Amino acid sequence: MSGITLLKSLEQPPLTVFTTAFRDYAFEGFELGVIDFLLKPVSEKRFNQSMEKITEFLSLQKNDANLETNSGNREYIFVKSGVEKIKLLLSEIIFIQGLKDYAIIQTATDKIVVKGSVKFMQELFPEPDFIRVHKSFIVAVSRIRKIARNQIIIGKYGIPIGRSYRNDLERRMGSI
């Protein structure tokens, strides 16, 4: 049984890092919600970056942050983390990545982990300002500067485009 088949068969899959010699599995891995993808041969530096990503995710997950919407105002939301409430301007959001029952809200300066599915995030961050481009990713339309083959490039981030979301992205952004 392949790792992909195993991951698909699990009802509650664990945090997963794909390690393979084949780039083609990266997009399928992200479709399955893997936290990272390592291409063989794996350098020590890249391995350590992956471990840092997992450690950061797990520590942020412990905060069990929650979102609180502000009634009707679409300029910002409050993110509750522990006993603090942080005002998050929607214009600062680059993308939202879903990981199991949590989502990572990525801004230029921060990474905030909140409890909630990608579907919930899609309702919270609706069109026309945001677009779901993948099973695990929602991007801020205003931040899209480059679309290359099967991914959106926003600064240092490469966000995969899921097959089932491509047509909507083409409709919204013009022909790719």
Say if residue 74's pLDDT is above 90.
no
CATH number of domain containing 26: 3.40.50.2300
Give pLDDT tens digits for 123-140.
Answer: 888 788 899 999 999 999
Question: Which 3 state secondary structure label does DSSP give 3?
Answer: helix
pLDDT of residue 95: 96
Give pLDDT tens digits for 18-67.
Answer: 898 887 777 777 777 788 889 899 999 999 999 988 887 777 665 555 55
Domain with 52, as residue range(s), is 1-62
Q: In a 10 Å sphere around its CB, with 0-12 CB exposed, 13-18 middle and 19+ buried, how is residue 42 labelled?
A: middle
Say if residue 176's pLDDT is above 70.
no
| 145 lies in some domain | no
Average model confidence (pLDDT) for the chain? 82
| 94 lies in some domain | no
| 44 lies in some domain | yes
Across residues 74-87, what is the average pLDDT?
73
| 93 lies in some domain | no
| 137 lies in some domain | no
For the chain, percent of residues with pLDDT exceeding 90: 27
CA-based torsion, 51, 56, 61, 63: positive or negative: positive
| 164 lies in some domain | no
